[in-house]
Amino acid sequence: MSGADGTITWLAHVKVRLALHELRDGEGRPLLLLHGLGEHTPSAVPQAAASWPGPVLGLDLTGHGRSSRAPGGGYTAEILMADVDAALAHLGPATLLGRGLGGYVGLLIAGARPELVRGTVIADGPGLAGGGPAPHSPAVLAPPSASSDDDDPSLPDPMALVELTRDIRPDDYATTYVRQALQFSGLDEPIAVAAVVRPPWLAAVADEPGVVGEPVADALARFAAVG
């Protein structure tokens, strides 16, 4: 179920309402932006994505931006992957550009829905490292302007910051999704790593066949050319 509100399409996903923002219309395959931890969809198309030939959209993940918060918490990267799955069910095949946490989520959905993801670009941004490859006591991000009105859509759910900062990301778990994408997407190089910062899971991903290290603009140009 969905409904439009200006440039926002509202997607119903279990008990959460997801905000899918249209940043630029157009014809052809869409580019879907996935923000970093504590962020939300930008108000305009980022410069690195300006040359994308088709429509550009951004999804506010659960607990971020205009999307609703998860009652009682329970935030995991896999829950956010399901958010993206709901967006792909609405959009059809898309290319993904993820910052930080959004890059990790983009990798997961690339392996889980290889027939719908026509390339994923992983870029630097908040939440890229997650909780590391094993449990420990992580630093917790403080939401910006925490004293502001709780209804401010720019403020993330504090529970999302706590739980997703502790999200464990074993190397072999991440690389499994790369292999799924490579085997079933039909693309020779379905994953692009544009991030300079490379936590252990991303360093392992970057060494996998089918993964290319390249700038965002170059990766998007390559994915725009695939069928």
pLDDT of the residue at 132: 75
H-helix or E-strand containing 18?
strand 16-24
Mean pLDDT of the chain: 91
Average pLDDT over residues 68-73: 91
CATH superfamily, region 2-224:
Alpha/Beta hydrolase fold, catalytic domain (3.40.50.1820)
Q: What percent of the chain has pLDDT over 70?
A: 88
Alpha carbon distances (Å) from 65 to 81, 118, 138: 16, 25, 24
156 within 8 A of 64, measured Cβ to Cβ: yes
34 within 8 A of 102, measured Cβ to Cβ: yes
Range of weakest confidence among 1-5, 43-47, 116-120, 172-176: 1-5
Query: Pick the residue with more confidence: 13 or 226?
Result: 226
Domain ranges of the chain: 2-224
Model confidence at 80, pLDDT cuts 50, 70, 90, reads very high
Model confidence at 227, pLDDT cuts 50, 70, 90, reads confident
pLDDT of the residue at 13: 85
Average pLDDT over residues 38-46: 96
Main-chain phi, psi angles of 117, to 5 degrees? -100, 110
Alpha carbon distances (Å) from 94 to 5, 55, 87, 109: 22, 10, 10, 11
Q: Is the pLDDT of residue 138 over 70?
A: no
